[in-house]
């Protein structure tokens, strides 16, 4: 069974009065506009050479693909920056427009077909699919990008291209490498997978006083080795307790299952998903039981944040790390999210909780992947670095976080980006950069773009030489 998602919303970060197409609907301010995102502040406040941001960015909701084409061409002609937006789940605040196409759309169509994507039904499919897309079915079926069979994109020239016309390189790039670096993705065509009408779920909670340390340690030994139908998410969080004289806080380990078979607690697949999250890192192996106990019990930095472990293994370990730009496959035990939620308002509270997260993140360094420390592109983290879009510097800065997100696949993404968008029109704080504009890279890109002609020329020359030598 196949399903097509239409992606029909994007933003332009300059006044777009120049667009006189009457059928375009323009709002004076984006709907549900959040406070100024950290990405917006960082982009425009950390560089003296960068002009101040427009005070009233415009949100455009095209009614037809031709509107997207016109906007791309028009923005380039008038030197306006365009940013493509998707759902409202970007932790750095670079995305907040809710699209008509969300993950819940699948559940509305069929009770026996699902898709290995997301744990929140309101996630917009555009960003979710283009950056990888994981969910409770990833151990059985892999990621969202592993089931995309076609796409439509408006490229930098304003052309509407499907998989056949864009070519396999660009199609590969927008199925895991972030579509917003390469164009405006209009739609994705996906293959759905069979799911049971009901699934078994359970929730088990244990505190440190209930031997959580030992349970978590043993969980990490087997979570990625269990049968692929079983997905058990672990959440470590700080809770109040009445099990001590002074009612101090303690750590609680909560295990959330998702078992694709018959069982005791039956939910439809679409309603069996849940939780909120933040920073992402990959866990490659479990530490010693003793060491993990120290992590849980003695780390006073673990007070308000929570850690979520999403186990790998199963299908995730079978798919090649180069089949899509998402490289985190075999060899990874789990994906860890670091999250903090707070009700207090103001810059002081924000700084306190973000600093707390950073300290916890730093503390976990010895226990996770390194050289470099891996990260998941769909959970952008501006602490990893920001592009400044100034030629070579942009590439060097983009490489820092790019390798963390994509590992060895970053090189191929940069080559594709340089080929399809050489002037870096489609860009944001952590987009794929282009190669530095020097002669060495020009030669490399010439070979990449014209290798077929070069090969034919060389073969022809050899044949002629052979004939002349007879």
Apex 249 CA angle, 243 and 255, nearest 5: 85
Query: Are 209 and 241 contacting, i.e. CB atoms less than 8 angstroms apart?
Result: yes
- The average pLDDT across 29-49 equals 36
Residues 71-114 pLDDT 10s = 999 999 998 888 887 654 566 644 433 344 555 666 666 677 77
Chain centroid offset of residue 173 CA = 13
pLDDT category, 138, cuts 50, 70, 90?
Answer: very high
For residue 280, pLDDT over 60 is answered with no
d(CA 28, CA 429): 24
Per DSSP, the three-state class of 249 is strand
Q: Considering the chain, what percentage of its residues have pLDDT values greater than 70?
A: 64
* DSSP summary character for residue 135: B
Query: Are 417 and 182 contacting, i.e. CB atoms less than 8 angstroms apart?
Result: yes
What confidence score (pLDDT) does residue 276 get? 33
CATH topology of domain 199-367: Vanillyl-alcohol Oxidase; Chain A, domain 3 (3.40.462)
Which ranges of 223-346 would DSSP assign to H, the alpha helix? 289-298, 315-318
Give the number of other Cβ atoms within 10 Å of residue 460's Cβ: 10
What confidence score (pLDDT) does residue 452 get? 65
Query: Are 375 and 381 contacting, i.e. CB atoms less than 8 angstroms apart?
Result: yes
pLDDT category, 464, cuts 50, 70, 90?
Answer: confident
Q: Which of these, 112, 130, 128, lies nearest to 120 by C-alpha position? A: 128
- Cα distances (angstroms) measured from residue 451 to each of 143, 355, 439, 454, 455: 32, 50, 17, 5, 6
Q: What mean pLDDT, rounded, does the chain reach?
A: 75
d(CA 411, CA 248): 50
More confident residue, 38 or 155: 155
Length of the chain: 470
For residue 281, pLDDT over 50 is answered with yes
More confident residue, 437 or 178: 178
Q: Determine phi and psi for 250, rounding to 5 degrees.
A: -140, 170
How does DSSP assign 393-408, residue by residue?
Answer: HHHHHHHHHHHHHHTT
What confidence score (pLDDT) does residue 146 get? 96
More confident residue, 53 or 194: 194
Q: Considering the chain, what percentage of its residues have pLDDT values greater than 90?
A: 36
Is this prediction's pTM over 0.85?
Answer: no
Per DSSP, the three-state class of 302 is coil
- The average pLDDT across 136-143 equals 93
What confidence score (pLDDT) does residue 284 get? 64
For residue 47, pLDDT over 50 is answered with no
> Is the CATH number 3.30.465.10 carried by domain 2-194?
yes
Residues 6+ apart with CB under 8 A from 88: 32, 95, 96, 97, 98, 122, 124
d(CA 36, CA 41): 7
Residues 293-351 pLDDT 10s = 445 444 444 456 788 999 999 999 999 999 999 999 999 999 998 888 788 888 998 88
């Amino acid at each position: 069974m196949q399903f097509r998602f239409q992606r029909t919303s994007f933003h332009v970060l300059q006044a777009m009065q120049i667009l006189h197409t009457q059928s375009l609907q323009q709002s004076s301010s984006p709907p549900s506009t959040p406070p100024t995102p950290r990405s917006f502040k960082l982009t425009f406040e950390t560089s003296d050479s960068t002009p101040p941001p427009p005070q009233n960015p415009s949100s455009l909701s095209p009614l037809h693909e031709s509107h997207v084409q016109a906007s791309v061409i028009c923005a380039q002609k008038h030197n306006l920056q365009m940013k493509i937006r998707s759902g409202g789940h970007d932790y750095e605040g670079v995305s907040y427009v809710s699209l008509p196409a969300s993950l819940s759309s699948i559940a509305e169509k069929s009770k026996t077909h699902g898709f290995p994507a997301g744990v929140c039904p309101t996630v917009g499919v555009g960003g979710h699919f283009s950056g990888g897309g994981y969910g409770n079915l990833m151990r059985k079926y892999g990621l969202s990008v592993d089931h995309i069979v076609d796409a439509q994109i408006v490229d930098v020239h304003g052309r509407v291209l499907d998989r056949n016309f864009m070519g396999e390189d660009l199609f590969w790039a927008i199925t895991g490498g972030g579509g917003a670096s390469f164009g405006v993705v209009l739609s994705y065509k996906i293959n759905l997978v069979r799911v049971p009408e009901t699934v078994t779920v359970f929730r088990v909670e244990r505190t440190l006083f209930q031997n959580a340390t030992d349970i978590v340690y043993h969980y990490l030994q087997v979570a990625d080795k269990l049968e692929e139908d079983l997905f058990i998410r672990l959440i470590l969080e700080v809770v109040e307790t009445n099990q001590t004289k002074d009612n101090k806080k303690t750590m609680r380990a909560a295990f959330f299952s998702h078992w694709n078979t018959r069982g005791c607690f039956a939910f439809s697949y679409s309603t069996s998903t849940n939780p909120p999250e933040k920073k992402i890192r990959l866990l490659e192996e479990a530490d010693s039981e003793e060491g993990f106990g120290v992590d849980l019990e003695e780390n006073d930095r673990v007070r308000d944040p929570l850690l979520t472990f999403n186990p790998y293994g199963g299908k995730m370990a079978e798919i090649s790390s180069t089949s899509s730009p998402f490289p985190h496959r075999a060899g990874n035990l789990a994906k860890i999210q670091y999250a903090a939620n707070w009700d207090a308002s103001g810059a002081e509270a924000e700084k306190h909780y973000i600093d707390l997260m950073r300290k916890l993140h730093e503390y976990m360094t010895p226990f996770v992947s390194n050289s470099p420390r891996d990260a998941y592109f769909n959970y952008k983290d501006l602490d990893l670095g920001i592009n400044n879009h100034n030629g070579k510097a942009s590439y060097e800065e983009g490489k820092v976080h790019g390798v963390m997100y994509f590992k060895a696949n970053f090189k191929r993404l940069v080559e594709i980006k340089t080929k399809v968008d050489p002037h870096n029109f489609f860009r944001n704080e952590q987009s794929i950069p282009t190669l530095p504009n020097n002669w060495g890279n020009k030669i490399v890109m010439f070979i990449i773009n014209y290798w077929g002609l070069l090969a034919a020329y060389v073969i022809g020359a050899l044949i002629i030489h052979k004939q002349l030598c007879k």
